[in-house]
Amino acid sequence: MADIFPHTQTKEPADSRDLSEPLIDHAEGQLFLNETFKIIVEDVLRKGTDVNEKVCEWKEPEELALLLDLELRSTGEPQQRLLQRVKDVAKYSVKTSHPRFLNQQYAGVDYHSLSGRFLSEALNTNLHTYEVAPVFVLMENEVLRGLRHLVGWTEGDGLFWPGGSASNMCAINLARYQLFPEVKSQGLFGLPRMTIFTSPESHYSVKKGAAYLGIGTDNVIMVKVDDRGRMIPGDLDEKITLAKSQGTVPLLVSCTSGTTVQGAFDPLDQIADICEKHQIWMHVDAAWGGSVLFSKQHRHLMKGVDRANSVAWNPHKMLVAGLQCSVLLLKDTTNLLRQCHTTNATYLFQQDKFYDVSLDIGDKSVQCGRKVDCLKLWLMWKAVGTDGLAQRIDKAFLHVGYLVEQMKKREGFHLLDEPEFVNVCFWYIPSSLRGKERDADYQDRLAKVAPVIKERMVKRGTMMVGYQPLGNRVNFFRVIVFSPLVSQKDMDFFLNEIERLGNDL
Amino acid sequence: MADIFPHTQTKEPADSRDLSEPLIDHAEGQLFLNETFKIIVEDVLRKGTDVNEKVCEWKEPEELALLLDLELRSTGEPQQRLLQRVKDVAKYSVKTSHPRFLNQQYAGVDYHSLSGRFLSEALNTNLHTYEVAPVFVLMENEVLRGLRHLVGWTEGDGLFWPGGSASNMCAINLARYQLFPEVKSQGLFGLPRMTIFTSPESHYSVKKGAAYLGIGTDNVIMVKVDDRGRMIPGDLDEKITLAKSQGTVPLLVSCTSGTTVQGAFDPLDQIADICEKHQIWMHVDAAWGGSVLFSKQHRHLMKGVDRANSVAWNPHKMLVAGLQCSVLLLKDTTNLLRQCHTTNATYLFQQDKFYDVSLDIGDKSVQCGRKVDCLKLWLMWKAVGTDGLAQRIDKAFLHVGYLVEQMKKREGFHLLDEPEFVNVCFWYIPSSLRGKERDADYQDRLAKVAPVIKERMVKRGTMMVGYQPLGNRVNFFRVIVFSPLVSQKDMDFFLNEIERLGNDL
Ligand SMILES: Cc1ncc(COP(=O)(O)O)c(C=O)c1O
Ligand SMILES: Cc1ncc(COP(=O)(O)O)c(C=O)c1O
C-alpha cells in the first residue's frame, strides 16, 4: 500500500487544556475513511463476491486471536497499522455476500441498499422525534405503508424493530395489552395463566419472547404440524379449547409464513377462522417468508394474511436489505402501539413543541435510541421498484426449481420433501450408505455425514451451507437459495462440491 | 453532477427465466456506491460539520414529504434520480455531527469509528455463531473485557444490545431469573409481586422494561433524590424495607450514573451497602455516564461501580461510537446470561460442530440476528488508545467548566445547579422577565421562553439544543457538551445565539 500517511506515528496528544481547537483532525480522518472505503470495495465487495475467491478463511479461534491482536491498549496506533487491521478484519470475516454463502437466511448484496446503509451510518440519526429525524420519520411511515399495502391493509400501524425476534415479542405484548391493559401498570401477578399457540417448527423467538415477557415457555403450546411442517388447524382448535377448559387465557396464535428450517407456510386462512371463532390475536411471523407478498405468482402462500392482527417481516432476509431491517406491521387503527408503550418522557416528547407531536414516534417503541433501518429498504425499493423486487422473489423460486430437479437426477441427494419455498432440505447419502436404509446403524451413520461435509467445506472455504436435525429426522442440509447474486452455475457447483466432499464417507 | 451514468433509464428487466446470469450488475452498483460515498463525504461529513453551514434545514412535514417524493412505485428509477435522492436525504436530515448540534446525548463523528461502521455494514455479519462471525465473536469478547476492566472486574460476562433500554431490561430479566429461575418456564402467574427501585430521574426505560417484562410500572418504586438529582440512599433503604413488609419481593435497584436530564451520579458505594444488606441485584444504568470510567480524573463519580451486579453502558453516546453501540456488563461468572436466555435452537446452535461451541454466543441473547456493533468501538479504541478516549472525556469536562464560567458572567443565564457532568441545565431569562421572580405569572411566562427560542433556532438552523420541564421546574434548556468536534468558539456562539434569539421575549 502506498504511503498515504507520511507521519505514521500517532501525533503528540493535543494539550487537553487548550480549548481553542477540536480533537478531531478532519483531513486525516477523511483520508482514513477513503482508504477504508477502497478496502471495502476491493476486499469485501469485489473479492468477497467472486466465485474464484474463498467464502471463508477458516482459522482456529486461538490462531485467529493471535493474528488479529485484539487487545485494547493505552496508546493509539499509527494509521497504516489501523488500515492493516481493516484489511485483516475483512480477510478473516466470512463473505456473507458471496454467491456460495448459502448458510443462512441472509446473503448477497444490493448496492443501493448498501449505499443507504452507509448514508444512515454517516448521518447517525436517532429515529425518535421529527425534530431530529424529519426525513426518516416520514420515510419510515411510507415504507411501513408500502409493506402494509402488500399485506392487504389500507390502514394500520407498525414500526421497525431491531430484528424479527423483537417484532414477535412486541406482538405478544400488544395482544396482552389489548386483553389486559392493567398489565402495563400492575404486572402479571394474580392474573390467570395466559397461553400462546404456535407450531414446534416456529422460530425460537416465540419461546424467548414468552420467557422474557413473564409468560413462561411452558405456556407456549405447541400445535401439531403436517409432514411438511405446516400447522394443522384442527389441532389448533382443539388445543385452544383445551387450554380454555383448563382455565388459561389464550392470548395469541403465532403462525409462521416461511419456517426457519423447512420454509413451510402455515395455512393462514384456516387459522384466521379459528382465531376469529375464539377471538384470539392472530400474529404472523413472516420474518422469513413475508417477501413472497411481492410476487404475484407466489403470494398465494400467504393467503389470509390480511386477516391477521400483526405481521412480523424481515426485509434483511430475503429482500437483501442488510442487517438489521425488520418490521412489525399492525392492522390496528386505535393507536394501540403508542398506548401500550408510552411513558411520555418529557425530556424527549415535549407536548409544547411547535409542530405536530404525533410525528414523535419514538414513544411507540420500547427502545429509546433507535437506528434508522428504513432508508436502505426505501432506496433499494425506489431503485428497482416493486416489480424489480418481485422479480427477485420469482427468480429465487426458479433457482430452487432447478436445484431440486438436478438433485433428483443425481444419486445420493435425498430431499426431505418437495420444498414449498426457497429452503431445500436434503440428506446427502454417501455411496457407502446407499441401499443400507434398513441397517440398524443407518440413522446414526447418516447423522454424522453432514457435520463432516460441513467441516471439510469450511476448512476449504469453497462454500457454506447449514445442517440440523429436526424432530426425529437426523442431521440434514438446509440450502437456501435467494441471493440476487447467484446463478445456475453456483447451483451446479454446490451439487458437485457436496459430492466431492462427501462421497468417500 | 457529471453524467457518470450514460444510460440513465433503468435497463430492460432481465428475463427472469434466464438462470445463467445473476440479477445484480456489480459495475453499475459499485459506481453508484462510489457516487454515494462522495456525497456522504461532501454533504454529510464536510458541510455537515462546518460551522458556516446549517445544523438543520427545517421544513414543515407536508412540504418535506412533497420535496422527498417518498412514494414507493412499481418501476425503478434511473441512477441519476436516485443519486439526487441521496443528496436530498442528506440535505434535509439534521446534521447530528455538527459542532452546534447540542440537542441529544450523541453528537460529533469519529472517522475510525465510522470506518468500522462502513466495514460492518459491507460485511453484513450476523453475530450469533463463530462459524459465520469468527472475527466478531472474538472481538466482541475483547471489547467487553476492556470495558469490564474499566468497571474494575477481571472476570465476568456481558453482551452488546441494540440500545441502553434493551440493556436495562435485560438486567431486570437476569435479576428475576436469578431469584426465580422458574419464571422462564412458568411465567409470573401466582408469584409474589416483585418490585424495582430507581429514582424519578432515572431513564424511562426502567419503567418501559418493567411493563414489558410483565412486572408493571406500579411496581417500580421511586426513591427520592436530592436537589441535584442523586438518589438518597436512606430513602432507598426505607422504601425497600417498606416494600418487603408489604409482601413484595425486591428484585433490583437501578441506579443511574449520569441521569438523562441533569447528568447526576447516584452514590453507588452507599447504594451497594444497601443492596448487600437486603441482598438485591444492583444494576447501574451508566448508558450516559459510563464513559467517565476512562478518565482518571473523573472516574470517582462512579466509585463503587465494581460492587454492582450489572452495568449498562452506551458507547454510542459520549464515546461517539455511533448508533447503535450499547453493552450490558455482568459480574456474573456462572453463565447466568446463557442459562436465562437459551432455548438451544438446533438449527443454529448445533452441538456436534467441529469447534468449541461455547463460542456460539447468540443463545446468550434474546435476539436471534444481531448486528455487529463492536467493530466501530474496537477500531476507534485501537486508533486513539485508552488514553485518547480519556482525553476526550477530560476535555468535555473542561468545556463544560468554561461554559458554566461564561454563563455566570452573563446576565440572563440561570443555572439550575452546578453541573456534575456534561449536562448543563439552565433557564434563559429574557430582559423583560429579569427581576420579576416574584410576579404571579413568572413561572408561566418563563415556561414559554425555551419553546420559542427552540422554534426560532430550528427555523434558522443555527444550532440545536433541547429543553424540558423536570418535577416542579418549568422548561429549561439542557445543553450537552462532549463532541470531540467542539471548541471554545462553539460555546461562545451558543451563548450569543441564545441571547440573540431570546432577548426580545
Ligand atoms: C421464521 C423466523 N422468525 C423470526 C426470526 C428471527 O428474526 P431475527 O433474527 O431478526 O431476530 C427468524 C430468523 O432467524 C425466522 O426464521
Ligand atoms: C441514563 C440513560 N439510560 C438509558 C438510556 C437509553 O439508551 P438507548 O437510547 O440506547 O435505549 C438513556 C438515553 O437515552 C439514558 O440517558
Predicted local confidence at residue B14, as pLDDT: 54
Pairing of strands A310-313, A326-330: antiparallel
Report how far ligand 1's centroid is from the alpha carbon of A197 (Å).
Answer: 17
Give B37's contacts in chain A (Cβ within 8 Å).
37, 118
Predicted local confidence at residue B21, as pLDDT: 87
The three grid cell numbers given for residue B496, joined into one nine-digit string: 450569543
What confidence tens digit (pLDDT) does each residue in B201-254 have? 999 999 999 999 999 999 999 999 999 999 999 999 999 999 999 999 999 999
CA dist A438 → A246, A378, A434, A449, B104 (Å): 44, 54, 10, 17, 68
Give B314's contacts in chain A (Cβ within 8 Å).
369
The three grid cell numbers given for residue A72, joined into one nine-digit string: 485494547
**Cβ contact, residue pair A487, B20, below 8 Å:** yes
Q: Work out how many CB contacts closer than 8 A connect A with B.
A: 555
B73 vs A89, A375, A386: nearest CB:
A386
What residues does B457 pair with on adjacent strands? none
- In angstroms, how far is CA A376 from the centroid of its own chain? 15
A368 vs B163, B367, B394: nearest CB:
B163
Evaluate whether A55 touches A98 at the Cβ level (below 8 Å). yes
C-alpha–C-alpha distance, residues A197 and A243, integer Å: 10
**Would the CB of A120 count as within 6 Å of ligand 1?**
no
Neighbours of B344 (CB within 10 A): 11
What type of residue sits at position A336?
L
Dihedral angle computed from the Cα positions of residues A390, A396, A399 and A404, in that order, rounded to the nearest 10 degrees: -130
- Give the contacts of A64 (CB within 8 A, at least 6 positions apart): A92, B134, B135, B138
- Give the contacts of B246 (CB within 8 A, at least 6 positions apart): none
The three grid cell numbers given for residue B495, joined into one nine-digit string: 451563548
In testing the pocket of ligand 1, which one of A105, A230, A314, A480 has its CB within 8 Å of the most ligand atoms? A314
Neighbours of A282 (CB within 10 A): 25
Nearest CA to ligand 2 atom 9: A369
CA dist A39 → A4, A217, A281, B8 (Å): 14, 46, 49, 28
Q: ipTM, 2 decimals?
A: 0.97
**Would the CB of A266 count as within 6 Å of ligand 1?**
no
- Give the contacts of A358 (CB within 8 A, at least 6 positions apart): none
Q: Which of A380, A362, A360 is nearest to A371 (CA)?
A: A362
> Cα distance from A418 to chain B (closest Cα, Å)?
19
C-alpha–C-alpha distance, residues B198 and B191, integer Å: 22
- Give the contacts of A367 (CB within 8 A, at least 6 positions apart): A161, A162, B162, B163, B165, B166
**Cβ contact, residue pair B466, A347, below 8 Å:** yes
What confidence tens digit (pLDDT) does each residue in A46-100 have? 999 999 999 999 999 999 999 999 999 999 999 999 999 999 999 999 999 999 9
Identify the burial level of B210 via C-beta atoms within 10 angstroms of its C-beta, where 0-12 means exposed, 13-18 middle and 19 or more buried.
Answer: buried
A94 vs B40, B132, B488: nearest CB:
B132
Residue with cell 463519580: B301
Residue B265 has pLDDT above 70, yes or no: yes
DSSP H helix total and E strand total for chain A? 14, 12
**Would the CB of A287 count as within 6 Å of ligand 1?**
yes
pTM for the whole structure:
0.97
Give B336's contacts in chain A (Cβ within 8 Å).
none
- Give the contacts of B455 (CB within 8 A, at least 6 positions apart): A354
Predicted local confidence at residue A3, as pLDDT: 64
**Cβ contact, residue pair A68, B139, below 8 Å:** yes
Helices marked H in B252-335 = 268-278
Ligand nearest to the CA of B255: 2
Least confident range of A296-310, B12-26, B94-108, B224-238: B12-26
Percent of chain B with pLDDT over 90: 91
Give A32's contacts in chain B (Cβ within 8 Å).
111-112, 115
Sign for the CA dihedral angle at A134, A136, A137, A143 comes to positive
Mean pLDDT of chain B: 95
DSSP 8-class letter at A13: P
pLDDT band at B346 (very low <50, low <70, confident <90, very high): confident
Average pLDDT over residues A194-223: 98
C-alpha–C-alpha distance, residues A256 and A202, integer Å: 6
**Cβ contact, residue pair B121, A121, below 8 Å:** yes
Report how far ligand 2's centroid is from the alpha carbon of B314 (Å).
Answer: 8
A44 vs B122, B126, B458: nearest CB:
B122
Residue B373 has pLDDT above 70, yes or no: yes
DSSP 8-class letter at A45: I
Predicted local confidence at residue A193, as pLDDT: 97
Predicted local confidence at residue B347, as pLDDT: 77
DSSP 8-class letter at A284: E
C-alpha–C-alpha distance, residues A473 and B347, integer Å: 12
C-alpha–C-alpha distance, residues B320 and B110, integer Å: 6
Give A314's contacts in chain B (Cβ within 8 Å).
369
Average pLDDT over residues B273-291: 98
**Would the CB of A262 count as within 6 Å of ligand 1?**
no
3-state secondary structure of B326: strand
Give B78's contacts in chain A (Cβ within 8 Å).
none
In testing the pocket of ligand 1, which one of A285, A373, A423, A470 has its CB within 8 Å of the most ligand atoms? A285
Neighbours of A431 (CB within 10 A): 13
Predicted local confidence at residue B15, as pLDDT: 61
* A256 vs B362, residue with greater confidence: A256
Report how far ligand 1's centroid is from the alpha carbon of A285 (Å).
Answer: 8
**Cβ contact, residue pair B142, A111, below 8 Å:** no
Evaluate whether A204 touches B369 at the Cβ level (below 8 Å). no
Distance in Å from the first CA to the final CA of chain B = 45
C-alpha–C-alpha distance, residues A471 and A375, integer Å: 40
- Give the contacts of A343 (CB within 8 A, at least 6 positions apart): A363, B204, B207, B208, B217
What type of residue sits at position A379?
L
Main-chain phi, psi angles of B51, to 5 degrees: -65, -15
Determine if the peptide bond prior to B324 is cis (ω within 30°).
Answer: yes
**Would the CB of A105 count as within 6 Å of ligand 1?**
yes
The three grid cell numbers given for residue B87, joined into one nine-digit string: 443528496
Mean pLDDT of chain A: 95
Predicted local confidence at residue B18, as pLDDT: 82
**Cβ contact, residue pair A192, B193, below 8 Å:** no
Pocket of ligand 2 (CB under 6 A): A 367-369; B 105, 163-165, 203, 205, 256, 258-260, 285, 287-288, 314, 326
The three grid cell numbers given for residue A18, joined into one nine-digit string: 487548550
Ligand nearest to the CA of B289: 2
Nearest CA to ligand 1 atom 7: A164
What confidence tens digit (pLDDT) does each residue in B14-33 have? 566 788 888 999 999 999 99
**Would the CB of B368 count as within 6 Å of ligand 1?**
yes
Best mutation target, A75, A135, A256, A374, to test chain B (most B CBs within 10 A): A135
3-state secondary structure of A276: helix
Pairing of strands B281-285, B249-256: parallel
**Would the CB of B345 count as within 6 Å of ligand 1?**
no
Dihedral angle computed from the Cα positions of residues A204, A177, B254 and B104, in that order, rounded to the nearest 10 degrees: 90
Q: Which ligand 1 atom sits nearest the alpha carbon of residue A326?
A: 10
Evaluate whether B323 touches B372 at the Cβ level (below 8 Å). no
Q: Which ligand 2 atom sits nearest the alpha carbon of residue B162?
A: 10
